[in-house]
Protein backbone atom coordinates (compact mmCIF):
# COMPACT_ATOMS: atom_id res chain seq x y z
CA UNK A 1 0.00 0.00 0.00
CA UNK A 2 2.63 2.50 1.15
CA UNK A 3 4.90 1.32 -1.62
CA UNK A 4 2.16 1.93 -4.15
CA UNK A 5 1.77 5.48 -3.00
CA UNK A 6 5.48 6.22 -3.00
CA UNK A 7 5.82 4.92 -6.52
CA UNK A 8 2.80 6.71 -7.90
CA UNK A 9 2.97 10.10 -9.57
CA UNK A 10 0.71 11.44 -6.80
CA UNK A 11 3.46 10.99 -4.23
CA UNK A 12 4.53 14.67 -4.13
CA UNK A 13 0.91 15.80 -3.65
CA UNK A 14 0.35 13.22 -0.99
CA UNK A 15 3.51 14.15 0.89
CA UNK A 16 2.95 17.86 0.69
CA UNK A 17 -0.60 17.37 1.96
CA UNK A 18 0.76 15.47 4.93
CA UNK A 19 3.25 18.24 5.64
CA UNK A 20 0.49 20.84 5.21
CA UNK A 21 -1.75 19.01 7.68
CA UNK A 22 1.11 18.61 10.12
CA UNK A 23 1.88 22.32 10.15
CA UNK A 24 -1.75 23.42 9.90
CA UNK A 25 -2.10 23.85 13.62
CA UNK A 26 0.58 26.55 13.46
CA UNK A 27 -1.24 28.83 11.07
CA UNK A 28 -4.86 27.82 11.67
CA UNK A 29 -5.26 30.50 14.34
CA UNK A 30 -3.82 32.99 11.85
CA UNK A 31 -6.33 31.92 9.20
CA UNK A 32 -9.19 32.28 11.66
CA UNK A 33 -7.95 35.67 12.73
CA UNK A 34 -7.69 36.78 9.08
CA UNK A 35 -11.25 35.56 8.48
CA UNK A 36 -12.62 37.61 11.35
CA UNK A 37 -10.72 40.72 10.30
CA UNK A 38 -12.02 40.46 6.74
CA UNK A 39 -15.52 39.68 8.00
CA UNK A 40 -15.38 42.74 10.22
CA UNK A 41 -14.67 45.01 7.26
CA UNK A 42 -17.33 43.34 5.11
CA UNK A 43 -19.76 43.95 7.97
CA UNK A 44 -18.79 47.62 8.25
CA UNK A 45 -19.08 48.02 4.48
CA UNK A 46 -22.55 46.46 4.46
CA UNK A 47 -23.69 48.63 7.30
CA UNK A 48 -22.69 52.06 6.03
CA UNK A 49 -22.61 55.27 8.08
CA UNK A 50 -24.38 55.41 11.42
CA UNK A 51 -27.45 57.66 11.40
CA UNK A 52 -29.42 58.62 14.46
CA UNK A 53 -32.60 60.62 14.32
CA UNK A 54 -33.44 60.52 17.99
CA UNK A 55 -34.90 64.03 17.98
CA UNK A 56 -37.50 63.51 15.24
CA UNK A 57 -40.98 63.58 16.74
CA UNK A 58 -43.59 61.62 14.79
CA UNK A 59 -46.40 62.52 17.19
CA UNK A 60 -49.66 62.53 15.20
CA UNK A 61 -48.10 60.81 12.17
CA UNK A 62 -49.84 57.67 10.93
CA UNK A 63 -47.56 54.85 9.77
CA UNK A 64 -48.43 51.49 8.22
CA UNK A 65 -45.75 48.79 8.30
CA UNK A 66 -46.47 45.48 6.57
CA UNK A 67 -44.80 42.48 8.16
CA UNK A 68 -44.00 44.22 11.45
CA UNK A 69 -44.37 40.97 13.41
CA UNK A 70 -40.81 39.81 12.75
CA UNK A 71 -37.40 40.61 11.33
CA UNK A 72 -36.52 44.09 10.17
CA UNK A 73 -40.19 45.16 10.07
CA UNK A 74 -40.40 44.64 13.81
CA UNK A 75 -37.20 46.62 14.45
CA UNK A 76 -38.45 49.43 12.21
CA UNK A 77 -41.68 49.55 14.23
CA UNK A 78 -39.71 49.65 17.47
CA UNK A 79 -37.70 52.68 16.40
CA UNK A 80 -40.71 54.57 15.03
CA UNK A 81 -42.57 53.78 18.26
CA UNK A 82 -39.74 55.48 20.17
CA UNK A 83 -40.36 58.52 17.94
CA UNK A 84 -44.02 58.62 19.09
CA UNK A 85 -45.61 57.58 15.78
CA UNK A 86 -49.06 56.01 15.53
CA UNK A 87 -48.26 52.64 14.00
CA UNK A 88 -50.49 50.11 12.26
CA UNK A 89 -48.94 46.68 12.37
CA UNK A 90 -50.29 45.24 9.11
CA UNK A 91 -49.68 41.54 9.75
CA UNK A 92 -51.21 38.12 9.18
CA UNK A 93 -50.62 36.44 12.54
CA UNK A 94 -52.68 38.11 15.27
CA UNK A 95 -51.26 36.30 18.30
CA UNK A 96 -47.65 36.75 17.27
CA UNK A 97 -48.17 40.43 16.42
CA UNK A 98 -50.03 41.28 19.66
CA UNK A 99 -47.07 39.88 21.58
CA UNK A 100 -44.69 42.11 19.62
CA UNK A 101 -46.94 45.15 20.13
CA UNK A 102 -47.11 44.57 23.87
CA UNK A 103 -43.34 44.21 24.08
CA UNK A 104 -42.78 47.49 22.20
CA UNK A 105 -45.53 49.29 24.14
CA UNK A 106 -43.88 48.35 27.40
CA UNK A 107 -40.43 49.30 26.26
CA UNK A 108 -41.29 52.66 24.68
CA UNK A 109 -44.42 53.74 26.54
CA UNK A 110 -46.07 54.40 23.17
CA UNK A 111 -49.71 53.29 23.39
CA UNK A 112 -50.63 54.17 19.79
CA UNK A 113 -49.67 50.81 18.31
CA UNK A 114 -52.46 48.92 16.55
CA UNK A 115 -52.84 45.49 15.03
CA UNK A 116 -54.77 45.26 11.77
CA UNK A 117 -55.04 41.96 9.93
CA UNK A 118 -53.38 41.89 6.51
CA UNK A 119 -52.83 38.75 4.47
CA UNK A 120 -51.07 40.05 1.39
CA UNK A 121 -51.59 37.03 -0.86
CA UNK A 122 -55.37 37.24 -0.31
CA UNK A 123 -56.59 40.21 -2.36
CA UNK A 124 -60.04 40.36 -0.77
CA UNK A 125 -58.33 40.61 2.59
CA UNK A 126 -56.15 43.47 1.30
CA UNK A 127 -59.32 45.31 0.23
CA UNK A 128 -60.89 44.71 3.64
CA UNK A 129 -57.76 46.03 5.32
CA UNK A 130 -57.88 49.27 3.35
CA UNK A 131 -61.60 49.74 4.03
CA UNK A 132 -61.03 49.19 7.72
CA UNK A 133 -58.07 51.60 7.72
CA UNK A 134 -60.02 54.33 5.96
CA UNK A 135 -62.84 53.97 8.48
CA UNK A 136 -60.47 54.45 11.39
CA UNK A 137 -57.95 56.97 10.05
CA UNK A 138 -58.26 59.99 7.81
CA UNK A 139 -54.74 60.17 6.42
CA UNK A 140 -51.56 58.14 5.95
CA UNK A 141 -48.11 59.69 6.39
CA UNK A 142 -45.72 56.78 5.93
CA UNK A 143 -46.40 53.48 4.17
CA UNK A 144 -43.67 50.86 4.55
CA UNK A 145 -44.06 47.90 2.19
CA UNK A 146 -41.78 45.54 4.09
CA UNK A 147 -43.42 42.10 4.33
CA UNK A 148 -41.94 39.42 2.16
CA UNK A 149 -41.33 35.72 1.72
CA UNK A 150 -38.88 33.52 -0.14
CA UNK A 151 -39.63 29.93 -1.13
CA UNK A 152 -37.47 27.13 -2.47
CA UNK A 153 -40.40 25.57 -4.32
CA UNK A 154 -43.32 27.32 -5.93
CA UNK A 155 -46.66 27.44 -4.16
CA UNK A 156 -49.84 29.20 -5.30
CA UNK A 157 -52.53 31.37 -3.71
CA UNK A 158 -56.32 31.09 -4.13
CA UNK A 159 -56.11 32.89 -7.46
CA UNK A 160 -53.48 30.44 -8.64
CA UNK A 161 -50.80 33.14 -8.61
CA UNK A 162 -47.31 32.11 -7.57
CA UNK A 163 -47.17 32.81 -3.85
CA UNK A 164 -43.93 34.81 -3.61
CA UNK A 165 -45.07 37.13 -6.40
CA UNK A 166 -48.57 37.41 -4.90
CA UNK A 167 -47.18 38.28 -1.44
CA UNK A 168 -44.16 40.43 -2.21
CA UNK A 169 -45.49 42.27 -5.22
CA UNK A 170 -49.16 41.94 -6.19
CA UNK A 171 -50.52 42.26 -2.63
CA UNK A 172 -48.38 45.34 -2.05
CA UNK A 173 -49.34 46.79 -5.41
CA UNK A 174 -53.03 46.46 -4.52
CA UNK A 175 -52.50 47.83 -1.02
CA UNK A 176 -50.59 50.86 -2.28
CA UNK A 177 -52.95 51.48 -5.18
CA UNK A 178 -55.96 51.51 -2.83
CA UNK A 179 -54.19 53.72 -0.27
CA UNK A 180 -52.90 56.26 -2.79
CA UNK A 181 -55.77 58.67 -2.16
CA UNK A 182 -55.19 58.57 1.62
CA UNK A 183 -51.59 59.81 1.46
CA UNK A 184 -51.12 63.10 3.28
CA UNK A 185 -49.10 66.07 2.08
CA UNK A 186 -45.36 65.39 2.39
CA UNK A 187 -45.94 61.68 2.90
CA UNK A 188 -43.62 58.81 1.97
CA UNK A 189 -43.88 55.32 0.59
CA UNK A 190 -40.92 53.06 1.34
CA UNK A 191 -40.56 49.83 -0.64
CA UNK A 192 -38.23 47.21 0.81
CA UNK A 193 -36.61 45.63 -2.22
CA UNK A 194 -33.28 43.83 -2.47
CA UNK A 195 -29.96 43.92 -4.25
CA UNK A 196 -31.30 40.76 -5.94
CA UNK A 197 -33.24 42.99 -8.33
CA UNK A 198 -29.90 43.61 -10.01
CA UNK A 199 -29.77 40.08 -11.45
CA UNK A 200 -32.03 41.29 -14.24
CA UNK A 201 -30.50 40.95 -17.74
CA UNK A 202 -33.39 40.65 -20.16
CA UNK A 203 -37.06 41.64 -20.11
CA UNK A 204 -39.27 39.70 -17.76
CA UNK A 205 -42.38 38.03 -19.04
CA UNK A 206 -44.84 38.99 -16.28
CA UNK A 207 -47.25 36.21 -17.18
CA UNK A 208 -44.47 33.70 -16.60
CA UNK A 209 -43.65 35.37 -13.30
CA UNK A 210 -47.31 35.11 -12.29
CA UNK A 211 -47.49 31.44 -13.23
CA UNK A 212 -44.21 30.48 -11.56
CA UNK A 213 -42.36 29.57 -14.75
CA UNK A 214 -39.08 31.15 -13.62
CA UNK A 215 -36.86 28.95 -11.54
CA UNK A 216 -36.53 31.81 -9.09
CA UNK A 217 -39.24 34.32 -8.36
CA UNK A 218 -37.94 36.18 -5.31
CA UNK A 219 -35.55 38.29 -7.39
CA UNK A 220 -38.35 38.98 -9.85
CA UNK A 221 -40.65 40.31 -7.13
CA UNK A 222 -37.89 42.62 -5.93
CA UNK A 223 -37.37 43.92 -9.47
CA UNK A 224 -41.12 44.58 -9.70
CA UNK A 225 -40.98 46.51 -6.41
CA UNK A 226 -38.36 48.78 -7.92
CA UNK A 227 -40.45 49.35 -11.06
CA UNK A 228 -43.48 50.16 -8.90
CA UNK A 229 -41.39 52.68 -6.98
CA UNK A 230 -40.41 54.43 -10.21
CA UNK A 231 -43.97 54.59 -11.52
CA UNK A 232 -45.42 55.88 -8.23
CA UNK A 233 -42.69 58.47 -7.85
CA UNK A 234 -43.74 59.92 -11.21
CA UNK A 235 -47.50 60.05 -10.66
CA UNK A 236 -47.82 60.98 -6.98
CA UNK A 237 -47.61 64.70 -6.46
CA UNK A 238 -47.07 65.27 -2.74
CA UNK A 239 -45.73 61.84 -1.82
CA UNK A 240 -42.12 60.71 -2.17
CA UNK A 241 -41.54 57.07 -3.04
CA UNK A 242 -38.25 55.22 -2.51
CA UNK A 243 -36.97 51.65 -2.75
CA UNK A 244 -34.14 50.12 -0.73
CA UNK A 245 -31.89 47.15 -0.05
CA UNK A 246 -31.63 46.45 3.69
CA UNK A 247 -28.43 44.35 3.59
CA UNK A 248 -28.00 40.64 4.27
CA UNK A 249 -29.56 39.81 7.61
CA UNK A 250 -30.30 36.64 9.52
CA UNK A 251 -34.08 36.91 10.00
CA UNK A 252 -36.94 34.42 9.77
CA UNK A 253 -37.03 34.86 5.98
CA UNK A 254 -35.01 31.78 5.03
CA UNK A 255 -36.20 29.67 7.95
CA UNK A 256 -39.67 29.85 6.44
CA UNK A 257 -38.41 29.16 2.90
CA UNK A 258 -36.96 25.68 3.11
CA UNK A 259 -39.26 22.73 3.60
CA UNK A 260 -36.74 19.93 3.86
CA UNK A 261 -34.59 19.36 6.91
CA UNK A 262 -31.44 19.01 4.81
CA UNK A 263 -31.94 22.43 3.18
CA UNK A 264 -32.71 24.00 6.54
CA UNK A 265 -29.52 22.52 7.94
CA UNK A 266 -27.35 23.72 5.06
CA UNK A 267 -28.90 27.16 5.43
CA UNK A 268 -28.19 27.21 9.17
CA UNK A 269 -24.57 26.20 8.62
CA UNK A 270 -24.02 28.81 5.91
CA UNK A 271 -25.52 31.55 8.05
CA UNK A 272 -23.44 30.43 10.98
CA UNK A 273 -20.30 30.55 8.84
CA UNK A 274 -21.13 33.97 7.38
CA UNK A 275 -22.67 35.39 10.56
CA UNK A 276 -19.70 37.71 11.22
CA UNK A 277 -20.36 39.35 7.84
CA UNK A 278 -24.15 39.64 8.00
CA UNK A 279 -26.03 42.43 9.74
CA UNK A 280 -27.91 42.11 13.00
CA UNK A 281 -31.67 42.54 12.70
CA UNK A 282 -31.37 46.00 14.29
CA UNK A 283 -28.73 47.03 11.75
CA UNK A 284 -30.82 45.55 8.93
CA UNK A 285 -33.68 47.90 9.80
CA UNK A 286 -31.50 51.01 9.67
CA UNK A 287 -31.88 51.89 5.99
CA UNK A 288 -35.68 51.72 6.27
CA UNK A 289 -35.56 53.87 9.41
CA UNK A 290 -33.23 56.31 7.68
CA UNK A 291 -35.71 56.73 4.81
CA UNK A 292 -38.62 57.11 7.23
CA UNK A 293 -36.98 59.70 9.48
CA UNK A 294 -34.66 61.80 7.32
CA UNK A 295 -35.87 65.36 6.62
CA UNK A 296 -38.47 65.34 3.85
CA UNK A 297 -36.62 67.67 1.49
CA UNK A 298 -33.50 65.45 1.61
CA UNK A 299 -35.30 62.28 0.57
CA UNK A 300 -34.88 61.68 -3.18
CA UNK A 301 -38.20 60.92 -4.84
CA UNK A 302 -37.86 57.67 -6.81
CA UNK A 303 -34.44 57.07 -5.22
CA UNK A 304 -32.82 53.77 -4.28
CA UNK A 305 -31.16 53.49 -0.87
CA UNK A 306 -28.76 50.98 0.63
CA UNK A 307 -26.16 50.94 3.41
CA UNK A 308 -27.83 53.98 4.98
CA UNK A 309 -27.17 56.16 1.99
CA UNK A 310 -28.44 57.00 -1.48
CA UNK A 311 -27.39 54.44 -4.06
CA UNK A 312 -28.15 53.57 -7.68
CA UNK A 313 -30.49 51.16 -9.45
CA UNK A 314 -29.08 48.52 -11.70
CA UNK A 315 -28.33 50.10 -15.09
CA UNK A 316 -30.46 47.48 -16.87
CA UNK A 317 -33.64 48.95 -15.38
CA UNK A 318 -33.66 51.99 -17.60
CA UNK A 319 -32.64 50.00 -20.65
CA UNK A 320 -35.33 47.33 -20.22
CA UNK A 321 -37.98 50.00 -19.70
CA UNK A 322 -40.73 47.83 -18.17
CA UNK A 323 -42.24 50.35 -15.74
CA UNK A 324 -45.39 51.06 -17.77
CA UNK A 325 -45.75 47.45 -18.85
CA UNK A 326 -45.81 46.22 -15.24
CA UNK A 327 -48.24 48.96 -14.20
CA UNK A 328 -50.68 47.92 -16.96
CA UNK A 329 -50.18 44.24 -16.22
CA UNK A 330 -50.87 44.69 -12.49
CA UNK A 331 -54.10 46.59 -13.18
CA UNK A 332 -55.14 43.92 -15.64
CA UNK A 333 -54.53 41.04 -13.23
CA UNK A 334 -56.20 42.73 -10.25
CA UNK A 335 -58.95 44.66 -12.04
CA UNK A 336 -61.77 43.00 -10.12
CA UNK A 337 -60.26 44.23 -6.83
CA UNK A 338 -59.51 47.81 -7.82
N1 LIG B 1 -33.15 39.12 5.43
C2 LIG B 1 -32.45 39.56 4.38
O3 LIG B 1 -31.27 39.26 4.24
C4 LIG B 1 -33.12 40.42 3.34
C5 LIG B 1 -32.33 40.90 2.27
C6 LIG B 1 -32.92 41.71 1.31
C7 LIG B 1 -34.27 42.05 1.42
N8 LIG B 1 -35.03 41.57 2.45
C9 LIG B 1 -36.46 41.95 2.52
O10 LIG B 1 -36.77 42.48 3.79
C11 LIG B 1 -38.17 42.34 4.03
C12 LIG B 1 -38.39 41.82 5.45
O13 LIG B 1 -37.88 40.50 5.55
P14 LIG B 1 -37.22 39.89 6.86
O15 LIG B 1 -35.86 39.46 6.46
O16 LIG B 1 -37.41 40.77 8.02
O17 LIG B 1 -38.09 38.54 6.98
P18 LIG B 1 -39.00 37.93 8.15
O19 LIG B 1 -38.29 37.96 9.45
O20 LIG B 1 -39.45 36.60 7.64
O21 LIG B 1 -40.25 38.93 8.21
C22 LIG B 1 -41.16 38.95 7.14
C23 LIG B 1 -42.47 39.58 7.59
O24 LIG B 1 -43.42 39.51 6.50
C25 LIG B 1 -44.62 38.93 6.98
N26 LIG B 1 -45.37 38.22 5.94
C27 LIG B 1 -44.96 37.16 5.20
N28 LIG B 1 -45.95 36.77 4.37
C29 LIG B 1 -47.01 37.59 4.58
C30 LIG B 1 -48.33 37.67 4.04
N31 LIG B 1 -48.77 36.82 3.11
N32 LIG B 1 -49.15 38.65 4.51
C33 LIG B 1 -48.73 39.50 5.44
N34 LIG B 1 -47.50 39.47 6.01
C35 LIG B 1 -46.66 38.52 5.58
C36 LIG B 1 -44.15 37.98 8.07
O37 LIG B 1 -45.24 37.61 8.88
P38 LIG B 1 -45.15 36.33 9.91
O39 LIG B 1 -44.43 36.85 11.12
O40 LIG B 1 -46.57 36.01 10.15
O41 LIG B 1 -44.39 35.26 9.19
C42 LIG B 1 -43.11 38.84 8.76
O43 LIG B 1 -43.73 39.78 9.58
C44 LIG B 1 -38.68 41.40 2.94
O45 LIG B 1 -39.35 42.15 1.97
C46 LIG B 1 -37.42 40.79 2.38
O47 LIG B 1 -37.59 40.39 1.05
C48 LIG B 1 -34.47 40.78 3.42
C1 LIG C 1 -42.61 61.60 22.68
O2 LIG C 1 -43.62 62.13 23.53
C3 LIG C 1 -43.20 62.30 24.87
C4 LIG C 1 -44.43 62.70 25.67
O5 LIG C 1 -45.16 63.70 25.02
C6 LIG C 1 -42.09 63.34 24.92
O7 LIG C 1 -41.64 63.51 26.25
C8 LIG C 1 -40.93 62.84 24.05
O9 LIG C 1 -39.91 63.82 23.98
C10 LIG C 1 -41.40 62.53 22.64
N11 LIG C 1 -40.33 61.89 21.90
C12 LIG C 1 -39.72 62.48 20.86
C13 LIG C 1 -38.66 61.69 20.18
O14 LIG C 1 -39.98 63.59 20.48
C1 LIG D 1 -34.17 35.98 -11.51
O2 LIG D 1 -33.49 34.76 -11.68
C3 LIG D 1 -33.87 34.03 -12.84
C4 LIG D 1 -33.04 32.79 -12.88
O5 LIG D 1 -33.39 31.91 -11.87
C6 LIG D 1 -33.64 34.87 -14.10
O7 LIG D 1 -34.13 34.17 -15.23
C8 LIG D 1 -34.36 36.19 -13.97
O9 LIG D 1 -34.03 37.03 -15.07
C10 LIG D 1 -33.94 36.89 -12.69
N11 LIG D 1 -34.75 38.09 -12.56
C12 LIG D 1 -34.29 39.26 -12.08
C13 LIG D 1 -35.27 40.34 -11.95
O14 LIG D 1 -33.14 39.43 -11.76
pLDDT digits (tens, 9 = 90+) for 41-84: 999 999 999 998 999 999 999 999 999 999 999 999 999 999 99
Q: Please state the length of the chain.
A: 338
pLDDT tens-digit map of 102-118: 999 999 999 999 999 99
How far is Cα 249 from Cα 283, in angstroms, rounded to an integer? 8
Q: Is 81 in the pocket of ligand 1 (CB under 6 A)?
A: no
Closest CA to ligand 3's atom 12: 200
Q: Which ligand is nearest to the CA of 284?
A: 1
Q: Which of 215, 216, 224, 319 to mutate to test the pocket of ligand 3 (most atoms within 8 A of CB)?
A: 216
pLDDT tens-digit map of 133-186: 999 999 999 999 999 999 989 999 999 999 999 999 999 999 999 999 999 999
pLDDT at 19 over 90: no
Closest CA to ligand 3's atom 3: 216
Element (H, E) at 310: strand 309-311
Task: Taking residues 220-229, report their average pLDDT.
Answer: 97
Q: What rounded mean pLDDT belongs to the chain?
A: 94
Question: How many A from CA of 69 to the centre of ligand 2?
Answer: 24
Start-to-end C-alpha separation, the chain: 77
- DSSP code of 249? B
Report the pLDDT value the prediction gives residue 5, as an integer from 0 to 100. 66
Q: Is 194 in the pocket of ligand 1 (CB under 6 A)?
A: yes
Domain 48-337 falls under CATH 3.40.50.720? yes
% pLDDT > 70, the chain? 99
Q: Is 176 in the pocket of ligand 1 (CB under 6 A)?
A: no
Q: Is 219 in the pocket of ligand 3 (CB under 6 A)?
A: yes
Q: What's this model's pTM, rounded to 2 decimal places?
A: 0.93
Task: Taking residues 11-21, report their average pLDDT.
Answer: 84
- DSSP code of 280? P
Go through 86-97 and write b for each residue having 16 or more CB atoms within 10 A of its CB, e for each that does not: bbbbbbbeeeeb
Report the pLDDT value the prediction gives residue 91, as an integer from 0 to 100. 98
Report the pLDDT value the prediction gives residue 280, as an integer from 0 to 100. 95
C-alpha closest to that of 161 among 206, 126, 195: 206
How far is Cα 298 from Cα 307, in angstroms, rounded to an integer? 16
Report the pLDDT value the prediction gives residue 256, as an integer from 0 to 100. 87
Task: Taking residues 304-324, report their average pLDDT.
Answer: 95
% pLDDT > 90, the chain? 80
Query: Pocket residues for ligand 2 (CB within 6 Å)?
Result: 57, 83-84
* 164: Cβ contacts below 8 Å, ≥ 6 apart: 149, 150, 151, 154, 217, 218, 221
Q: Is 311 exposed, middle or buried (0-12, 13-18, 19+ CB in 10 A)?
A: middle
As beta bridge partners, residue 144 has: 65, 190
How far is Cα 94 from Cα 90, in angstroms, rounded to an integer? 10
Ligand 2 atom with least separation from CA of 84: 1
Amino acid sequence: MLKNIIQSKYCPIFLSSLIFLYYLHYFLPLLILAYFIIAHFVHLYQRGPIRKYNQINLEGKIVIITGASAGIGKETARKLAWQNATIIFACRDEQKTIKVINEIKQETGNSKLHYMNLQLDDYNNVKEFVKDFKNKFTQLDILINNAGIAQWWHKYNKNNHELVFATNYLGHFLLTRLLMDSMSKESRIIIVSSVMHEMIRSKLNFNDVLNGKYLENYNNTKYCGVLLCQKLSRILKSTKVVALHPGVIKTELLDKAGNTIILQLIQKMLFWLFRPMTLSVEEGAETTIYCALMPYRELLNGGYYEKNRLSKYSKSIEKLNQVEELWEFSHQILKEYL
